[in-house]
Amino acid sequence: MAKPLKGLPMLKNYLVLKRWGAALVLTMSCALISPFSFSANSQQALTLQTAIERTLQQNPQLHQFEFARQRLASMRETSDLKPAYQLGVELENFAGTGEVSSFDSAELTVALSSVIELGDKRQSRIALANAKMNTLELERQAQTLDVLGELTGSFIQLMSTQQELKLAAEAVELSKSLHNTVKNRAHSGAISDAEVMRAKAMLTQSNIQQENLRRRLERQKIALARFWGSTKIEFSSVEGDLFAFGQSQAFSDLYTAVQQSPAIMVFASEQRLKDAEVRLAQTQNRADLGWQFGVRRFEETGDSALTLGFSMPLFSERRNRGAVKSALVERNALEYRRRGRLLALHSQLYSAYSQREQFIAAHQQLKQSVIPDLEEALSITREAYDRGRLKYQDWITAQQELLNAKQRLIETAGSALLNQAVIEQLTAQPLTE
């Protein structure tokens, strides 16, 4: 018996990410060394839970964030460095004319120089690097939700195809029963051989549809396995209840959750990042103080003396004014980007919410009313056909109406779960526990 999806635990696993922390990073790093560590038995059914775990550990797209994190960590290490020291050597008054034509009057200076940073430049660089790290983490969380959302959608489609295969097998059995009944009636001379041929053709078409679904199922298995970087089908089927839906929630509650999701929180992190960029640009308004300390030797007298110098750029604030304005513009534009993104998410959420409710309602009507009526109608039609009270076409019509209704039952269930997965992806929370 298939186990229920329990409201698509995609986001349950995302919430686990917050508890994983560094452990997840370590797991991903290990997976880079052994990207195909899972070796599931080809006869085992695959659960959504297992698919998610494999994807979190082995998805190539998610691994890219670890390399980005390492790059930012290196940049942060560099940002913490103080200005470098420079060693300079200067030789003057030689190879000229007259008294300075030789090296007798030469002056050799060996000096050490560097820069004293003013305006908290180093602290601003560190703050900017930390802000980039925080933003990257939220981007990773948002990307993880997107990947898991795609994974869940593929999983649901595979479950739908499995149900369609069961329905196709039922259609084949109904076609066989019809074909046998028609042959028996034709042997007794009650109907013509033309109806036998029509029944045979319908059976053949049912077998063709069944084979087409088998091939589609294999393609969908390959598409699902790509999420954890595999090119092989390592499972026989997927396990879950296509007809189990989560509890409905108020749209206002869902929208509140969207505003706290990584897709929106990343803008708050980017705001802090832009603030750090502004502060770093502003620190450039204050010029750094350059210094130099050295020793000079006078070859003519054999004497030595110390040298000391300081330098400071002029009008640095004026020269840096454009960079500050540019950073301020980018920071101010970010709020409008956030508003635009929130409006788009509101529309997307409402569309998924509305369609989910619509498909669930249609599913319930089909399950509770339409299909039972059509099953009873098919039974009555078959008995009437056996007695010669109805025509062959009446039986075919009743049978096809029932199959179409059952197909629609599968489609509404799959559509409801697909929209449910979108809601969970947008809100970063499951609809059921």
d(CA 199, CA 255): 54
**Residue 168 CB-density burial (10 A; 0-12 exposed, 13-18 middle, 19+ buried):** buried
Angle at 277 between CA 273 and CA 279, to 5 degrees: 115
Given a contact cutoff of 8 angstroms between Cβ atoms, the answer to whether 211 and 162 are in contact is no
Mean pLDDT by 10 residues, the chain (433 residues): 45 42 31 33 80 92 87 82 82 70 75 78 81 87 90 95 96 93 84 88 95 96 94 91 88 92 82 72 70 80 80 67 75 84 92 95 96 95 87 91 96 95 88 56
Element (H, E) at 309: strand 303-311
Given a contact cutoff of 8 angstroms between Cβ atoms, the answer to whether 411 and 156 are in contact is no
Nearest to 323 by CA among 287, 277, 286, 289: 277
Given a contact cutoff of 8 angstroms between Cβ atoms, the answer to whether 294 and 112 are in contact is yes
Q: In CATH, which of 2.40.50.100, 1.20.1600.10, 3.20.20.220, 3.20.20.140 is domain 10-79+120-286+321-427?
A: 1.20.1600.10
pLDDT computed for residue 285 by the predictor:
66
318: helix, coil or strand?
A: helix
Query: In Å, what is the CA distance from 225 to each residue of 66, 75, 125, 213, 236?
Result: 22, 35, 42, 18, 12
d(CA 138, CA 204): 54
Which pair of structure tokens corresponds to residue 398?
Answer: 């009743």
d(CA 90, CA 318): 33
Given a contact cutoff of 8 angstroms between Cβ atoms, the answer to whether 199 and 182 are in contact is yes
**Residue 10 CB-density burial (10 A; 0-12 exposed, 13-18 middle, 19+ buried):** buried
Which pair of structure tokens corresponds to residue 51?
Answer: 């698919």
Residue-level length of the chain? 433
d(CA 379, CA 280): 79
pLDDT computed for residue 24 by the predictor:
33
pTM of the model: 0.77
According to DSSP, residue 428 is labeled T
According to DSSP, residue 286 is labeled S
103: helix, coil or strand?
A: coil
What is the separation of C-alpha 198 from the centre of its chain, rounded to a whole number of angstroms? 50
According to DSSP, residue 191 is labeled S
292: helix, coil or strand?
A: strand
